[in-house]
Structure 1
Amino acid sequence: MNRLLFTNLRRYSTTVVCNPIPATFLRGGTSKGIFIKRSDLPDDRSQWDHIFRGIMGSPDKEYGRQLNGMGGGVSSLSKICVVGPPSDAHASVDVEYTFVQVGIRDSDIDYSGNCGNLSSMIGVFALDEGICALPKLFAGSTATVRSFNTNTGKHINTTFPVTAGENGYTPVLELDQASIAGVPGRASQITLDFVSPGGARTGKLLPTGNAVDEVQVETGDKSLPIRMSLVDATNPTVFVFSADLHHILALPETSPIDFASPPVLKMLEFIRQQGAKLMCLDPSAQAQPKIAILRPPLPSDPDVDVFVHALSMGVLHKAVPMTVGLCLGVAADVKGTLPWQIVQHSRASRGGGGVKLVKIRHPSGIVDVGAEFEENGEVKNAKVVRTGRRLMEGVVWW
């Protein structure tokens, strides 16, 4: 993109931080975020946190709406991506990026995980900004941009339509190719490919070595067990059965769970923290691991494999965080895990053998996720289709 209007901003040395900072506002999947070139931020990363809080309007302790910034009061709208050319250590990729999850009511800045939805727009932003002038991988009218995510140390490829022009290749996002649950309308298809996603944070697909673990939960005067599958693919996730949660909460299985209820949220946070401890992760870091509650699909959903409610930063996600959806798709092919148990039962009940994609129902609709495994059981890749849109380009005050 032509940014001559902001040339004067870039003349500052990195010891003088521009305010405002050149930035682009993009939708990727079911998230929106601020994308910033790494060269427009100070070299001293200790200065980043303060800048990011100002950009998003955090902390907003009293109202939680982030009205003083670009955030929207929910985790899927309080995100930043810092994008730059690859370092020498990752010369095999086209671009390198760091994902930032910004706290809403608190001052937390979390670099521990990645965002699958915003990852789908890294290649688009890199081409637009000239960070990646000419991807090496083309197939007809599409290009594949290879990126390295510094949070997880993983390679992620995005493939999307492009058009050639005098100044190189431009991503085309307005084609009538794909739709995704939670976003109105149709747009160009962006294929998101997480390469070797297993062990993104812990180094192991199953951090404890077990398909299912069990922890005790204190409820009233009783201590009850709850089963969980701890899986680390794209981002670590704690999976639990809805039926087990109903039992602990003393709810009939047919009763809906009020995920906005403080006692329910407190219980889920306790369970998530116990899973984090077993995964040797910081239990106080709300961004990682996520927690997802699974149940079998309803009879009215004959083609769906599993229904999921996922929480992000202590709040029920209106769709499903894409890294949770990808992790669920991988876990569904890992024998013995809770996702595997539900998906196997769903497919057996409808005679659906040999199916490659996992069809996941979430509160906003359905998403199909695919995963490929090596012969030794390692995850080769996990794929999902997303769409995206350019929303605004200019400068952002912090």
Structure 2
Amino acid sequence: MPHIPQLRIPATYMRGGTSKGVFFRLQDLPQAAQVPGPARDALLMRVIGSPDPYAKHTDGMGGATSSTSKCVIISKASVPDHDVDYLYGQVAIDKAFVDWSGNCGNLSSAVGPFAIANGLVDPARVPRDGIAVVRIWQANIGKTIIAHVPVADGQVQETGDFELDGVTFPAAEIRLEFLDPSDEGEGDGAAAGMFPTGNLVDELDVPGVGSFTATLINAGIPAIFLDAAELGYCGTELQAAINDDAAALARFEAIRAAGAVRMGLIATAAEAATRQHTPKVAFVAPAQDYVSSSGKHIAAGEIDLHVRALSMGKLHHAMMGTAAVAIGTAASIPGTLVNRAAGGGERESVRFGHPSGTLQVGAQARLVDGQWTVTKAIMSRSARVLMDGAVRVPGDTV
């Protein structure tokens, strides 16, 4: 049979927060993949190495986890007063599927640096030394993210002393502002309002499983917050306690599907399989002493509460950035399960414990005409280029 050469596509492999992904400029993709559709999905799956029945991603750039099976497409902004469009694809590991229904808050931190380094930000707006402000249009959900990117000698500063639990080495701090994260977006990930059911707390009936107290919120990403004790957990669990328990994972997936229906994201629970990225499921508990996955001892007095979150059917090793936005928002609103676990009352920031350590996130929420809204959520992350050049895929991929 005739030999088909591989395609060579300019790309950058980046860490953003506690995630990694393959970044592309839209203009560098093959023509057929420059528009949404099967050709684009096929390309990104082949880049990552999915679907992989061995769940290893040996023949691709993915890492066979929800944190490392990601692709990002960046282009010049399509909306006024923004620098770039940021489109995120969560690639399934063992299925032929790319989920475009939500954002990745962790990789959001890498968008500004990538945009600057690739000439997508007006050079006049990038200081020689200081902070470059990059206005990002998150195209999946129709939201604005403002990235404050450090610049030194005209280049993005990547090294520094900012430490992020879940990331081994320190780097330069990048501050992110997620504007109006609770308003209804324009993408597939949108749910109606911050609290789609109109309640701060609901009783969520899960067929065949049971009924659970839950806060269903849309802020940063649709999320379902549960009470750890009601599930039989203490809130300090690490990955193995959940991910090695097939029955627990099945129960969480059933809860996620029922919550998605209750939030109006899907019509039937069966559709949840086509929407793996959203909503997220997390459980919360009051602060207590614990030992993180790195062996670090964290005292109850160092945090406000514990949160453990699942992503793509597994307990996350740290915390998804978009879920952190939802946590900060829910914590700022008296009466939610997150707020109760944090001790109640009004607050504009919260520090929570996760499997890898702690994270602080701020949110400015207010009650307007009987409806809660949040103007912005703020958190710090870091990002670094791991490799750049070109990724290669078989020529018959697209």
The Cα of 1:254 is off from its aligned counterpart by 10
Counterpart in the other structure of 2:307: 308
> Aligned match of 2:18 in 3, 16, 30?
30
Is residue 380 of structure 2 the alignment partner of residue 385 of structure 1? Answer: yes
- Distance across 1 between alignment mates of 2:383 and 2:109: 8
- Distance across 2 between alignment mates of 1:138 and 1:157: 16
Counterpart in the other structure of 2:27: 39
User: In structure 2, do the counterparts of structure 1 residues 135 and 295 end up closer, same or farther at CA, with 3 Å as the change threshold?
Assistant: farther
> Aligned match of 2:364 in 367, 372, 375?
372
CA contact (8 A) 1:235 1:324 kept: yes
User: In structure 2, do the counterparts of structure 1 residues 218 and 187 end up closer, same or farther at CA, with 3 Å as the change threshold?
Assistant: same
- Distance across 1 between alignment mates of 2:158 and 2:35: 35
- Distance across 2 between alignment mates of 1:324 and 1:391: 25
The Cα of 1:286 is off from its aligned counterpart by 1.3
Equivalent position amino acid for 1:286 in 2: Q
Counterpart in the other structure of 2:219: 233
Equivalent position amino acid for 2:336 in 1: T
Gaps of 5+ in 1: 1-16, 346-352
User: In structure 2, do the counterparts of structure 1 residues 333 and 163 end up closer, same or farther at CA, with 3 Å as the change threshold?
Assistant: same
CA contact (8 A) 2:128 2:151 kept: no
The alignment partner of 2:377 has SS state of strand
CA contact (8 A) 1:330 1:382 kept: yes
Q: What TM-score comes out, normalization by structure 2 length?
A: 0.85
- Distance across 2 between alignment mates of 1:96 and 1:126: 10
- Distance across 2 between alignment mates of 1:357 and 1:253: 20
The Cα of 1:138 is off from its aligned counterpart by 6.4
CA contact (8 A) 1:204 1:232 kept: yes
Counterparts of residues 139-288 of structure 1 (less than 5 Å): 141-164=130-153, 169-176=154-161, 178-199=162-183, 200=185, 201-217=190-206, 224-246=210-232, 258-282=242-266, 283-284=272-273, 285-288=275-278
Counterpart in the other structure of 2:46: 54
Gaps of 5+ in 2: 267-271, 290-298, 394-398
User: In structure 2, do the counterparts of structure 1 residues 218 and 148 end up closer, same or farther at CA, with 3 Å as the change threshold?
Assistant: closer
CA contact (8 A) 2:331 2:347 kept: no
The Cα of 1:203 is off from its aligned counterpart by 3.7
- Distance across 2 between alignment mates of 1:266 and 1:365: 26
Counterpart in the other structure of 1:13: none
Higher relative contact order (CA 8 A, sep 6+): 2
The Cα of 1:332 is off from its aligned counterpart by 0.7
Counterpart in the other structure of 1:348: none
* Identity across matched positions, percent: 36
User: What count of residue pairs does the alignment treat as equivalent?
Assistant: 360
User: In structure 2, do the counterparts of structure 1 residues 394 and 218 end up closer, same or farther at CA, with 3 Å as the change threshold?
Assistant: same
Counterpart in the other structure of 1:79: 70
User: In structure 2, do the counterparts of structure 1 residues 189 and 242 end up closer, same or farther at CA, with 3 Å as the change threshold?
Assistant: same
The Cα of 1:327 is off from its aligned counterpart by 0.6
- Distance across 1 between alignment mates of 2:200 and 2:166: 31
The Cα of 1:97 is off from its aligned counterpart by 1.1
